[in-house]
Structure 1
Amino acid sequence: MQGKITVVVVGYNRTDSIERILDSLSRANYDYSDIRLLISLDHSENKKVVQAAERFEWRYGEKKVIAHPKRLGLRKHIISCGDLTRQYGAVMILEDDLYVSPDYYNFAMQALEKYGEHPKIAGIALNTKRELLESVYPFFPLKKGEDIYFQQFATSWGQVWNERMWDGFRKWYDAHPTLPYHKDVLQAVLNYPDTSWAKFYQTYIVDTGKYFVYSYDSLTTNFGDAGEHFGGSSSSAQSVLFYGKKAYRMPEFADGVKYDIYGEPVGLGKYLGVSEEAFTCDMWGRKRKEAYRRYVLSSRTLDYKVLKSFGMQMKPMELNVIENIKGTGLFLYDTQAPAAGRNKSSKEERIRLLEYGYGVLDGRDLLKWGMSRTGKKLRRKAKGSG
């Protein structure tokens, strides 16, 4: 069968990075033929990057190197790669600090075949993180037997767009030259640098109620090489890479497990006896109060009347509600009924969530880690001002 997705490797000035990701592509397993590879390189003074791309041998189809004559910057570069959907129909964007699973292309093709024309799907993710977006808390998506879930989060660590998906975003992007504020988008995302294309896509999918397709197993991992958005290489960006091969079990969109951009489950209102339109799920306590609807489910101590409470033992956290586990870890509040006298420090709540997520924490190790990280930041700051 012919590969319908054009693979686009995005690079700039990192020779080792471009060689590593191209090597991972050559090692992968392909159930498809005639797979086009484009290597799009932003302009830099490092000519070795272009040379590495040109000498790479691609055995699975056509290969083309695009060496841009002028510096684009990351945001314009990715946007230009997305625009290639008009020419090629579907593209997979892989930045050069990524590394792919042997089954990456087969997954992408299966997912595109299943969800490519669904109006609620805005992209297909190749990377699966084990942490909530912009958080130290872990992410445990509910498993019901399929290999796929959906989230309102546009990954930048390997993604597939077809022309329909990209055209919807492109029209929204052109209508919003300045990123609009959205109360349901994390402030950290809104504060991404101007070089970020992702903050626009994140806001777009939240604003339009769309989702990305995710595999429970990650099909890419990230080396976090020093570059435009990373100060230095770090293993903290690595994902658990799927190293096998399978036919992916893909639910219908309406039946699939869904999460919002915060990693909060969508659809818990029916278990609480409240409508989704009047309900905000904030179990990890990270949402702004201005985004709260009338009913709020949260682990935070809030000054509202408590309608129901649940334990916070089962994982993922929503199972405590679905299974009606008794306890005082999660609270359903009515924000139209203020209640005074419920005080608990945010520090205590944070520690409780960390213990829930990671188990018993060793305070001495955390202190050493914190001091080490602070020392590194201070040294980098001193070096930069020297």
Structure 2
Amino acid sequence: MRHTTRWDQIDIRGDYNETLNWSIVVLTMNRPASLRRLLNSLQEAEYDGDTVQLVIWIDYRDEEAHDETLRIVNTFHFRHGPRLIYERRESAGLARAWFDAWVPRRKDEHAIVIEDDSEVSRYFYRWLKQAWAAYGTYPGIGGMSLNRQTVRAIVTPGPNVPITNDYKPFLYKLVGTFAFAPHPVHWKSYVEWVRRSFYTMEPLVDGLRTTDWWLRINKNENIWEQWFIYYCYQHDLFVLYMPLPHRQALVVNYAEHGEHHPSKKAGGNRSVAAYEWSEYLQTFPKKLVHYDWDTSPMTCPKIPECRYWEKPPIKQD
């Protein structure tokens, strides 16, 4: 049995523009107010004269919320490029929504996938475009997460303190799940693999809290990130993050009730959208620091040839 998409159950409005290098892909279901907030922030972002394609995937669950979502989407005019809408007539679940969201047709094509309970900084696209220009050929990058890094992948003693890395871009093994810009080559390979493997295996990585979550929840329909974690683990890939002071982030997620946060008590936000084009956002070091599952720094003398990373030696007093 394979993961499949019922295209006969999807209404498509608009055409995919293959000449554009950038797409912003929005995933939405049953949160019309959240979607309106996200679309408004995308409208006000700085695109520096670029034409970008807005792709909106609408999943189906509740008829009343679905109708309101359609009304918002149909009346929204994106000033920065063409709009493409995929409306599902049956529920697909969050995992399939991510797997279907975007498949690159060219190596120089880019996208960012954003869940609807998010809000972007007006500088998110400017930074993302410059980051890909700086690190597009950097070895071992599986993609870029624009939300704050807050989760430590393994449970260790002490508080769970986010990586700051002197507020410079860094590479971490764990993907951020709410606003992710995949590497086009790796993402194409990943989607092809996951569609073959979705019902034939479990993407377990020993020792990770995300594996514990997977085993406890055991819902293929809602957890896409464990598949990407496993894929990156198998291919020695890392995810790029951009830390900022004062809890700023290029994309803020409000953790609202929905597929990603099924608890009715979900909600809240500990970040703010980056409010200035600061010096931090204009700094792209030639050499990136890598961080392990436990958020400790790693070293590797020859990055392109290095497959097995090792922690730096412990300094002796």
* TM-score over 0.5 for the pair: yes
Aligned to 2:144: 124
Unaligned 5+ segments in structure 2 are 1-18, 302-306
Change (3 A) 1:10 1:137: same
Q: Which has the higher helix share?
A: 1
Q: Secondary structure at the match of 2:282?
A: coil
Give the Cα separation in 2 of the matches to 1:43 and 1:86. 27
CA contact (8 A) 1:151 1:260 kept: yes
Aligned to 1:181: 204
Unaligned 5+ segments in structure 1 are 270-275, 282-296, 298-320, 327-386
Aligned to 1:262: 294
TM-superposition CA deviations, 1:9-34 (whole Å, max 9, x none) = 11011111111111111222222421
- The answer on 1:209 being equivalent to 2:236 is yes
* Correspondence list, 1:107-118, <5 A: 107-118=127-138
Aligned to 1:229: 260
Larger Rg: 1
TM-score (norm 2): 0.76
Identity across aligned pairs (percent)? 20
**What is the number of equivalent residue pairs in this alignment?**
276
CA contact (8 A) 2:112 2:180 kept: yes
Give the Cα separation in 2 of the matches to 1:8 and 1:184. 32
Aligned to 2:101: 81
Aligned to 1:303: none
Structure with higher RCO (Cα < 8 A, 6+ apart):
2
CA contact (8 A) 1:122 1:205 kept: yes
TM-score (norm 1): 0.64
Aligned to 1:139: 161
* Correspondence list, 1:1-386, <5 A: 4-44=21-61, 45=63, 46-83=66-103, 85-86=104-105, 89-133=109-153, 137-141=159-163, 143=165, 147-174=168-195, 176-177=197-198, 178-183=201-206, 185-186=208-209, 187-191=211-215, 193-194=219-220, 195-217=222-244, 218-230=249-261, 231-232=263-264, 234=266, 236-246=268-278, 247-252=281-286, 255-267=287-299, 321=314, 324=316, 326=317
Give the Cα separation in 2 of the matches to 1:152 and 1:277. 13
Give the Cα separation in 1 of the matches to 2:276 and 2:168. 13
Q: Which runs of 4+ in 1 moved over 4 A?
A: 133-136, 233-237, 276-281
Change (3 A) 1:278 1:96: closer
Aligned to 2:10: none
Q: Secondary structure at the match of 1:16?
A: helix
Shift of 1:227: 0.6
Please report the RMSD computed on the Cα atoms of aligned residues, expressed in angstroms. Answer: 3.0
